[in-house]
Amino acid sequence: MRNLFVGLLVMCLFVLGFGVITVGAQEVTWTCPEGFEGQELNIFNWATYIDEEAIPRFEELCGVTINYTTYSSNEEMIARLRQGNPGFDIVVPSGAVIPVMVADGLLEELDGQDLPNFVHVAEQFVDPDYDPGNTYTVPYQWGTVGIAYNKNAVGDAELTSWEDVFNYDGNVAWLEDQRAMLGVALQILGFDPNTHNLDEIEQARDFLLENGDNVVRIAEDDGQEMLLAGEADVIVEYNGDVFQIIFECECDDYAFITPEEGTNVWVDNLAIPTGAQNPELARVFIDYMLDPVVGAANSNYIAYASPNQTAIDEGLIDEELLTNPFIYPTEEELEKMFFILEDPDTEQLYSDAWDELSVLIGG
């Protein structure tokens, strides 16, 4: 993880045991409830997906220790939990997989009374279709899947669409996100990205196979590193991961676009897995991340969109991010995007199609 705005946007001070967090001219003090000193919290999260000060700040405020482990896909996280939770207290699943996790008994219910900062969540993220009543989750970040490329490598080629990626004469890396990639193919073919029809899913698989001759690898959420290393000229990646390298580079070498045909929009969430060792401290950490200034510092750092309406209304989100249509898409762009909602009855159909595709492409 990179500190994108060191000395510019986020400064953290610790005064008399209370965390005074400064974002711009705003300050807020978050106080940890008593009684957690000496305890441990185990977090299982995506890589490059949290403000580097968030964890040490929480450890100091509560007098606790956090053990932090990462994964590269929802499927990897779910597979780990299905084997039996080894002790994780917090996971960060995408909304798409929440119905499957609930059906499998992998998540504990949240007690809303223990989350006073939930009042700051934007209305559109409250009571989502994937988790009615926010029974199991609270929103963490949201974003899109898009196309990034090295301007110097592609030269005069103008990339604006998925078709441009499929036809590009050079090295391309796709994203290890089976529902996003198959969803793109389904949308292009005129099908519902959440179809239950096996024939349509197989047509999407075959479409990607037919258009994957230039793929050198299906990247496990590290396509941006391939772009930096010159291993791929064009990548399919989550928007925030790309903007992390763009902002750190402070150069004009890289670009990110939302394909004109449309793409996947998603919401990631904080949740407590079944079998958590310390669910009480997990709820405290979730409420801490919902604090407007803590949430703003997090979104400013990782360059993803915040679901925290108070943070936005109070001007805590960096203007460079808030006005970037590739981070906060316009309503017009959102209308072209699709949201994935996993169904336990079709989960295996998509997994099988992706597995068949993966062994034949990007080897």
What distance in Å separates the CA atoms of residue 255 and residue 147, rounded to the nearest whole number? 8
Check if the beta carbon of residue 326 is closer than 8 Å to that of residue 255.
no
Torsion of CA 127, 337, 181, 208, to 10 degrees: 150
Widest CA span in the chain: 63
For the chain, the straight-line distance linking the first and the last C-alpha, in angstroms and rounded, comes to 28
Q: Average pLDDT in the 273-298 region?
A: 97
CB-based contacts of 347, cutoff 8 Å, min separation 6: 100
pLDDT band at 4, cuts 50/70/90? very low
Given a cut of 80, is residue 3 above it in pLDDT? no
- CB count in 10 Å sphere of residue 30: 19
What pLDDT, on a 0 to 100 scale, did the predictor assign at position 22?
56
Given a cut of 90, is residue 20 above it in pLDDT? no
Give pTM, 2 decimals: 0.91
What distance in Å separates the CA atoms of residue 159 and residue 234, rounded to the nearest whole number? 9
Given a cut of 50, is residue 240 above it in pLDDT? yes
Give CA separation, 282 vs 44, 136, 138, 144, in Å. Answer: 12, 13, 12, 27
Q: Average pLDDT in the 311-318 region?
A: 95
pLDDT band at 156, cuts 50/70/90? confident
In the three-class reduction of DSSP (H, G, I as helix; E, B as strand; rest coil), residue 14 is classed as strand
Write phi, then psi, for 190 (nearest 5 degrees): 90, 15
Q: Which of 318, 220, 307 is nearest to 270 (CA)?
A: 307
pLDDT band at 7, cuts 50/70/90? very low
Given a cut of 90, is residue 21 above it in pLDDT? no
Q: Which domains does the chain have, with CATH numbers?
A: 10-142+267-322 (3.40.190.10), 143-265+330-358 (3.40.190.10)
Q: Average pLDDT in the 134-163 region?
A: 96
% of residues, the chain, pLDDT over 90: 88
